[in-house]
Amino acid sequence: MTGDPLYLDGVDLVDVSIMAVKVLVAFTFLLVATMFMVWFERKLISDMQNRIGPNVAGPWGLLQTFADGVKFFFKEDLRPENADPLVFRLAPYISAVTAFLSFAVVPIGGSFGGGSSGTVTIFGRETYLQVADPPIGILFLLAMSSIAVYGVMLAGWASGSKYPLIGSVRASAQAISYEAALGMATVVVVVLAGTLSTHGIVAAQSGGFTRWFLVSSGIVPFIVFLIAATAELNRPPFDLVEAEQELVGGFHTEYSSIRFALFFLAEFMNVITMSAIMVTLFFGGPAGPIFFGMTWFWPTIWFLLKVLAFLFVFVWFRATLPRLRYDQLMHLGWKLLIPLILFWLMFISLKELRATYDWNWVVTYGAAFVALAIGGSLLVAALRAGDRAYQEELEEV
């Protein structure tokens, strides 16, 4: 059975207080990290564009986000006349709450491998360095990201205005399309780890760089996950949801003041959470060399550094890649990513089966190759036929 060892011997007051401290630390960490993420993004993008960026509030403009936050509080809170009052108020909270909750399943520290199972001891109690380790683990993340769609969708609809509605319809179509690829890339990791629990997934990757699922799953699932995650986050180059040139601000056009701040917060928080999830799934979570016997210190540092690398990647995407057109977006999602990851999932499952039942190498991979050749050529033929029909339709005009 999976689960935090904290609860094995019943729950008492100390357990509850440890839990409360964990929740508080995760909450504060996310808020502060979001604040600096906004600053980091603005500063980095201005560097990439030969600008200076925020530099007035605090040293190097570090307090700029804080100043913006305070300003949001004092802004007038508008509600359009056509808006649906209840849903209009509900939507930002759905976005913010799901963004907070997703982070709960990420293990942010603890040393794995070499006999230790990633526990740390606080007040004489052994526990994991993550807020919760439910048996469904990574499915919880998928559940939260599918609920997060509601925030965007309802915000767009409840505003009672054109551009938000178009933005939210785009957003939900995009989220549903890429959720399939995201989910299947996750399934590859789950097949390799043999567990859904995030803690178990990290534990399965302990023991050096080559054990990371980035390597043992053959990089493809990671690339698919990265692309799908970027789309799921509505980050550039997949930010059609709030394409300024076409939709004003997309789903949050009509929002102002603190409600807009909540959307803003949720968006950046999701970037951090998604980076953390990628580190957990493919980069061994908190795995890394430990110096001076400080087993409680180094894993968390490695984890944070890895997350920071991904945050940089997301900002980099934004600064360098042009936005996709809507049909390109759908094309990439449905015709490229999903068939690719579906094939990869079958391949990895076959590889695992072969290892378990000790099947013959040549027969197994020979059969797989024949199946791939047949299935692949059928798929390519179908895609070509579809494209041709589409082109003909265009030319007939």
The contact set with other proteins (CB under 8 A) reads 1-2, 84, 86-87, 134-136, 139-140, 142-143, 146-147, 149-150, 153-154, 157, 165, 168-169, 172-173, 176, 179, 196, 325, 327, 393-394, 396-397
Question: In terms of DSSP bridges, do strands 119-122 and 112-113 run parallel, antiparallel, or are they unpaired?
Answer: unpaired
The β-bridge partners of 116 are 113
Question: In terms of DSSP bridges, do strands 125-128 and 119-122 run parallel, antiparallel, or are they unpaired?
Answer: antiparallel
Sign of CA dihedral 15, 16, 17, 22: positive
Considering the complex, state which of residue 290 and residue 330 has its C-beta at the smaller distance from other proteins.
Answer: 330
Considering the complex, state which of residue 143 and residue 319 has its C-beta at the smaller distance from other proteins.
Answer: 143
**Closest separation between CB of residue 240 and other proteins, Å?**
14
Considering the complex, state which of residue 190 and residue 278 has its C-beta at the smaller distance from other proteins.
Answer: 190
**Closest separation between CB of residue 136 and other proteins, Å?**
4
Considering the complex, state which of residue 9 and residue 327 has its C-beta at the smaller distance from other proteins.
Answer: 327
* Sequence letter at residue 123: F
State in Å, rounded, how far the first CA of the chain is from the last one: 63
d(CA 232, CA 238): 8
Nearest alpha-carbon partner for 140 in 103, 178, 184, 185:
103
* Sequence letter at residue 30: L
212, two tokens: 């990371």
Matching residue, tokens 């009672």: 160
* Sequence letter at residue 383: L
**Closest separation between CB of residue 362 and other proteins, Å?**
26
**Closest separation between CB of residue 149 and other proteins, Å?**
6
Matching residue, tokens 């603005």: 42
**Closest separation between CB of residue 29 and other proteins, Å?**
25
**Closest separation between CB of residue 165 and other proteins, Å?**
7
d(CA 224, CA 74): 42
Considering the complex, state which of residue 130 and residue 300 has its C-beta at the smaller distance from other proteins.
Answer: 130
d(CA 1, CA 318): 42
d(CA 21, CA 168): 37
Considering the complex, state which of residue 29 and residue 343 has its C-beta at the smaller distance from other proteins.
Answer: 343
**Closest separation between CB of residue 175 and other proteins, Å?**
8
User: Would you call 194 helix, strand, or coil by DSSP?
Assistant: coil
**Closest separation between CB of residue 279 and other proteins, Å?**
22
In the chain, the largest separation of any two C-alpha atoms, in whole Å, equals: 76
Matching residue, tokens 């701040």: 261
Considering the complex, state which of residue 29 and residue 150 has its C-beta at the smaller distance from other proteins.
Answer: 150
Considering the complex, state which of residue 76 and residue 327 has its C-beta at the smaller distance from other proteins.
Answer: 327
**Closest separation between CB of residue 370 and other proteins, Å?**
21
Matching residue, tokens 């980095």: 44
Considering the complex, state which of residue 101 and residue 287 has its C-beta at the smaller distance from other proteins.
Answer: 101
Contacts 24+ apart (CB under 8 A), 300-309: 300/108, 300/109, 300/129, 303/108, 303/109, 303/276, 303/279, 304/108, 306/279, 307/272, 307/275, 307/276, 307/279
